[in-house]
Amino acid sequence: MQGQVVDTESAREFMQEARKQISADDLAAIAGECAAKSERFHGWFSPGRAAAAGESELDAALAAIFATRRRRREILAAHPAATLGGWIAELLAPARPIAERFDAFVARLAGVPETVSSDLAGELLHFTDPERYWLWTRWMWDPRVRTGALPLVTMEEVDLSGATPGETYARVGEAVAFVRATGDAAGFTALPELCRRLLGVHAPARA
């Protein structure tokens, strides 16, 4: 992305309004839920573990993701644990470009809507390794209807949609990086606060 990506004033206004709707105690609770979810995902899918994940672990992970919660039995019935765990391991292994891995994972989930498989891939990546991977869900950016929270703080000319789900994931990540850098420089927020309010992580965090 070139030029100014973040609309600093809009982002500042967004945060001011958000602060009116959430207390410090609520924010601390959300942060704690995010950390607990990440700890669980890391335990299930950290290097060397994902391919060996059993059906109980996979069911628990799918139940912890809003987009897959109601579809988890359908997903597990169509994709045996050994197969799905192997695909998750490949998604998380940094041997290939992230967009390529993302697209491969989404394409493999037969019978699952692309929006759902994309949300699943994004949450698996982020909550297993939040320092390496960003979060992308439809609450952030839905390329079908071109709405979401992220456009509220980016410039109008910034295009978050790629030709494939993987390319969109990469573009969202680049935009999130700019938001973080701009927020730090402007002094109006820290990344954890911005991400949790902006991305609506509290919705799928409760398993």
Which residue, among 93, 77, 91, has the nearest Cα to 166 in the 3D structure? Answer: 91
Alpha-carbon dihedral 171, 201, 104, 164, rounded to 10 degrees: -30
Q: Region 189-201: what's the mean pLDDT?
A: 49
Of the ranges 83-92, 137-146, 191-200, the best mean pLDDT one: 83-92
Phi, psi of 142 (to 5 degrees): -110, 105
Give the residue with greater pLDDT, 207 vs 181: 181
For the chain, the structural domain boundaries read 8-202
Place of tokens 């019978």: 111
pLDDT of residue 205: 39
Mean pLDDT of the chain: 82
pLDDT at 12 over 80: no
Q: What is the C-alpha separation between 88 and 102, in angstroms, rounded?
A: 10
What would the two tokens of residue 30 be? 């959300």
> Confidence class of residue 140 from pLDDT cuts 50, 70 and 90?
confident
pLDDT of residue 197: 45
150, containing H or E segment = none
pTM over 0.85: no
pLDDT at 129 over 70: yes
